[in-house]
């Protein structure tokens, strides 16, 4: 399998704290890649570096065979990376459908003149945006909720709506930051099915998650971070039996 994302010795400091130090790994096309570690290990920092929220102090990213050089946030989406958020960040006052339509923005052309002049091409494009947004809502199981305002949706539905919005940008890499946090067992199972379906349809997934059952069952490979350093990488079985991982999670006296 060829590499989709190459992370080359990426580091980030916040004042005296080294949030990430020289982390390198590679995500292959089509896999579900897990990123785990105790709280404060640097997982979300990594997401923020990848999506251009912060700038890395050192190291670089290669994505889809090209250096990932982000100057404005929308370029991340344009390059083919979409993400969801640990604490849900929907456009709360817009309908579920409109939230997904925002994600289509980067893959469509019409701008200010299209909005005013309403040419046939613009109208056709907007009809296509609508159709695609409905299809994505259906894909994540929210077709019946499309016209509801996002903040009225249940917690689990909001999480799935974030995924639909991210998928609307047609990502090559879908980065999910704790997608099942706060979900009950049924919701988690539904989401797991959805993630497997997304992988089956050809999208690579990067998953940060604390739910070990989900991570171990779903991921092809896992990277373990602790205090900003990579302490293990490999298949779930390998990672589960790694001494350094056990020490990081359970404390030194057991190792």
Smallest distance from other proteins to CB 145, Å: 17
Closest C-alpha to 217, from 207, 231, 229: 207
Residues with Cβ within 8 Å of 194's Cβ and at least 6 positions away in sequence, in order, are 140, 141, 160, 163
Smallest distance from other proteins to CB 45, Å: 16
In sequence order, what E strands does the chain have?
3-14, 17-28, 32-36, 58-63, 66-67, 81-83, 173-177, 204-208, 221-226, 229-234
Smallest distance from other proteins to CB 229, Å: 27
The DSSP letter of residue 39 is: T
Smallest distance from other proteins to CB 214, Å: 24
Binding site for other proteins (CB under 8 A): 51-53, 72-74, 76-78, 82-83, 85, 89-94, 98-99, 101-108, 110-112, 114-116, 122, 125-126, 129, 165-166, 168-169
Given a contact cutoff of 8 angstroms between Cβ atoms, the answer to whether 180 and 187 are in contact is: yes
Output 26 or 48, the one with its CB closest to other proteins: 48
Alpha helices of 140-184 — where are they, by DSSP H? 155-167
Closest C-alpha to 82, from 201, 213, 184, 203: 203
Rounded CA separation 118/96 (Å) = 24
Output 167 or 239, the one with its CB closest to other proteins: 167
Output 5 or 239, the one with its CB closest to other proteins: 5
Output 103 or 228, the one with its CB closest to other proteins: 103
Given a contact cutoff of 8 angstroms between Cβ atoms, the answer to whether 10 and 60 are in contact is: yes
Smallest distance from other proteins to CB 123, Å: 10
Output 129 or 222, the one with its CB closest to other proteins: 129
Rounded CA separation 202/208 (Å) = 19
Output 151 or 197, the one with its CB closest to other proteins: 151
Output 167 or 198, the one with its CB closest to other proteins: 167
Smallest distance from other proteins to CB 220, Å: 25
Smallest distance from other proteins to CB 42, Å: 19
């Amino acid at each position: 399998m060829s590499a989709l994302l190459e992370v080359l010795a990426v580091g980030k400091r916040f004042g005296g704290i080294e949030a990430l130090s020289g982390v390198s790994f590679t995500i292959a096309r089509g896999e579900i890649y897990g990123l785990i570690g105790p709280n404060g290990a640097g997982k979300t920092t990594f997401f923020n570096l990848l999506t251009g929220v912060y700038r890395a102090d050192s190291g670089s990213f290669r994505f889809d065979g090209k250096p990932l050089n982000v100057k404005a946030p929308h370029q991340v989406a344009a390059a083919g990376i979409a993400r969801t958020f640990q604490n849900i960040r929907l456009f709360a006052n817009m309908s579920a459908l409109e939230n997904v339509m925002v994600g289509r923005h980067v893959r469509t052309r019409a701008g200010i003149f299209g909005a005013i002049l309403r040419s046939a091409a613009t109208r056709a494009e907007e009809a296509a945006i609508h159709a695609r947004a409905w299809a994505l809502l259906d894909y994540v199981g929210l077709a019946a909720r499309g016209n509801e305002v996002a903040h009225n949706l249940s917690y689990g539905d909001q999480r799935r709506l974030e995924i639909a919005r991210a998928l609307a940008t047609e990502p090559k890499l879908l980065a999910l930051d704790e997608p099942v946090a706060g979900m009950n067992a049924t919701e988690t199972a539904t989401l797991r099915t959805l993630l497997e379906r997304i992988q089956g349809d050809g999208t690579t997934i990067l998953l940060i998650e604390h739910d070990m059952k989900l991570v171990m069952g779903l991921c092809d490979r896992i990277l373990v971070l602790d205090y900003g350093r990579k302490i293990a990488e490999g298949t779930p079985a390998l990672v589960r039996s790694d001494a350094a991982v056990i020490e990081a999670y359970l404390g030194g006296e057991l190792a």
